[in-house]
Amino acid sequence: MAKKNRPAESAAAASAEAASPAHTGAANGHDHNTTITSVSTEHRKFAPPESFAETARISSLKEYRRLHRLADEDPEKFWGKIAGELHWFKPWKKLLSWKAPFARWFVGAKTNMSYNCLDRHLDGWRRTKAAIIWEGEPGEVRTLTYAQLHHEVCKFSNVLRSLGVTKEDTVAIYMGMVPEAAIAMLACTRIGAAHNVIFGGFSAEALRERINDSRAKVLVTQDAAFRRGTEVALKDAADRALTGTPTIEHCIVYRRSGSQIAMQAGRDHWWHEMMAGISAKSKAEQLDSEHPLYVLYTSGSTGKPKGIFHTLGGNLVWSYYTTRMVFDMRDEDTYWCTADIGWVTGHAYVVYGPLLNGATSLMYEGAPNWPEADRFWDMVERHGVTIFYTAPTAIRAFMRWGEGFPRRHDLSSLRLLGTVGEPINPEAWMWYRSTIGGDRCPIVDTWWQTETGGIMIAPLPGATPTKPGSATLPLPGIDVDVVRKDGTSCAPNEGGYLVIKSPWPSMLRTIHGDDQRFKETYWSHYKGWYFTGDGARRDEDGYLWIMGRVDDVVNVAGHRLGTAEIESSLVAHKMVAEAAVVARPDEMKGNALVAFVSLAANATASPALKEELREHVAREIGAIAKPEEIRFSDALPKTRSGKIMRRLLREIASTGQVSGDVTTLEDFSSLEKLRAGEEE
């Protein structure tokens, strides 16, 4: 089982990193020439089912190639056609202004996200169509039609206005998966305030840091969220965060669980009280195409999270287009993306993409195994879900829980499956295809990032033959390559670095407040090209196989974590002198975190201290960042110039060659002497 379920490509990346300096080389600008080697030997190929292709928007590779060519040769026509399907208060004067690395799209145009998501559908029959169907973890179901959602969004936008929020401001949203989270996001876009959604699993510390960096004026939260039968006390965490957030003037609290919480007079307001009696008339602001849409924090290779800054027009167009093409979205579909709204997938593919297409988006509050491990399949059956989009980690969990759970349910409503967030191993892909998709549904493995704003590489389900584990081909309009250190293109099947060579509408515009870091992180490796931080190879058919991160970012269970961020949290603990966090392959989560810690002089190693340090990270950042394992060490192995030899630690963490009693200190001195020469 362990071997069988190991994610083939991320294992390849890990072993490639262990065998070559690619891992730190790319991120830290070392000049090594070793390439990444891939060990995948996957050769299966599945043509789109004929019945799917017959009705699909794009039904042949020929048509896909035609669109690709059109985007290259006549971008005005290509983008004009797509953008023209949406509402613009004022047309653009110029499609693109590109002064690398700064892009402006649909220059001079005026539009509004909430108008396009909602008002545009109100004239016709979609007015009474379900926009969001929500299911709470305890089991209640709420449906919001387009008219109802519009009503709520208009009212909440007036609540924000009444608290003085304008289009110059940022609103932080720290909520669970409730429709009000989507309502708050859409209300921000209606008045032109940028939203900064902070995942509900983040700690008070992480919340405070993100609020402060984005200079948010208002926080929207809820009393508590339901998760696996218990309550996650969001307002309590918010209260702790708000002790050190000078920019926050007001906090709006949605009542979800009814649990006891503290309300601070003057600062805190109940959602329902603010909404009572407020006008539902709210003009959608006519906003510049380059007006801020959102800031979303993601981990990078330093301790400080990056505020990825996105703007309106480009995201409007790309969320709309990719949802339409990659999910072949139809009015009859009931579409379910299981991502949390706190991640970029929740932004583009729970809220914006589906609503821009007038689709029905299912939203679920809780855990996939509550009350039992068939919750998702039970929901697919009850709601008649037709398109299902989830993460490989979840699929591997379903595999482990066993086929019995999906077999209890009729899954015949499904017509298309998707994955996102990390490489999917071919075994999980095949299981997904047969056990969930009944060998009838195409699978779209979608590669993209917080920075890209939307899907970049993915099959078009009626056109692109799929291969288990490959995200296949770039979408029309997207210009990717796999290159060597020197920028030359890799040969087929030669591993290299994934870059994007031309601007695209939903690309990040900068890192909030830090143009310099934006340039260094993404644009300094290859002049004029965007560096993704991922390793990849392209096979003889031009298919892309993503091999995982090549920088100090680790993908754990589909969540992006910066090892530097976890290290600085560990070092902040008084018992810790030094820490290095690395990843080892994990059959379930893709990667697991291992922290090597050298203790302060007065500290004594013990299992209790290990647990305390894990809890410390959970408190500082959030439970998702807890290291799986803590290993104590006298000293961390370093190069003569003082750089921690992470590759060596990764080897130790992955192969388990250095083991021993849980409380025994590991002595790296001999390894250090052996390796010091090569590392410099």
Kindly list the residues in this chain that would bind ligand WTA in the complex (CB under 6 A). Answer: 298, 343-345, 420-423, 445-450, 471, 532-534, 546, 548-549, 555, 560
Q: Assess contact for 218 and 200: CB atoms under 8 A.
A: no
Paired residues of 483 in beta bridges: 489, 497
Q: Which is nearer to ligand WTA, 59 or 301 (CB)?
A: 301
Residue with Cβ nearer ligand WTA (48 or 423): 423
Residue 188 CA to residue 157 CA, distance in Å, equals 6
Pair 110, 92: CB distance under 8 Å:
no
Q: Least separation, in Å, of the C-beta of 618 and ligand WTA?
A: 20
Backbone φ and ψ for 387, nearest 5 degrees, come out as -125, 130
Minimum Å gap between C-beta 401 and ligand WTA is 22
What HEC string does 154-205 produce?
Answer: HHHHHHHHHCCCCCCCEEEEECCCCHHHHHHHHHHHHHCCEEEECCCCECHH
| Closer of 118 and 536 to ligand WTA (Cβ) | 536
C-beta of 583: minimal distance to ligand WTA in Å? 12
Residue 397: CB minimum distance to ligand WTA, A: 17
**How far apart are alpha carbons 184 and 188 in whole angstroms?**
6
- What backbone torsions phi and psi does residue 43 show, to the nearest 5 degrees? -125, 0
What is the closest distance, in whole angstroms, from the C-beta atom of residue 345 to ligand WTA in the complex?
A: 5
Residues in contact with 645: Cβ distance below 8 Å, sequence separation at least 6, in sequence order: 636, 637, 638, 639, 672, 675, 679
Instruction: Give 308 or 636: the residue with its C-beta nearer to ligand WTA.
Output: 308
CA–CA distances in Å: residue 460 to residues 29, 245, 361, 417, 457: 36, 45, 20, 12, 10
Cα–Cα distance for residue pair 117/114, rounded to 1 Å: 5
- Supply the minimum distance, in Å, between the C-beta of residue 467 and ligand WTA: 13
Q: Which is nearer to ligand WTA, 364 or 447 (CB)?
A: 447
- In the complex, minimum distance from the CB of residue 268 to ligand WTA, in angstroms, rounded to a whole number: 31
CB of 101 to ligand WTA, least distance (A): 18
Taking the complex as a whole, the smallest distance from the CB of residue 338 to ligand WTA amounts, in Å, to 13
What the block records as the tokens of 408 is 């209890």
Q: How far apart are the first and last CA of the chain?
A: 39
Select 450 or 569, whichever has its Cβ closest to ligand WTA: 450
Q: Which residues pair with 670 in a beta bridge?
A: none
SS3 label, residue 446: strand
Place of tokens 């519009």: 150
The answer to whether the CB of 228 falls within 8 A of the CB of 202 is no
**CA-CA distances (angstroms) from residue 17 to 28, 38, 466, 534, 639?**
14, 10, 27, 12, 17
- For ligand WTA, give the closer residue by CB, 422 or 651: 422
Nearer to ligand WTA, 358 or 496 (CB): 496
Residue among 252 and 564 whose Cβ is closer to ligand WTA = 564
Which long-range contacts does 514-518 make (Cβ < 8 Å, 24+ apart)?
A: 514/306, 514/307, 517/300, 517/306, 518/101
Q: Which is nearer to ligand WTA, 496 or 533 (CB)?
A: 533
Q: Minimum distance from CB of 571 to ligand WTA (Å)?
A: 25
Question: CA-to-CA distance for 317 and 309, rounded, in angstroms?
Answer: 16
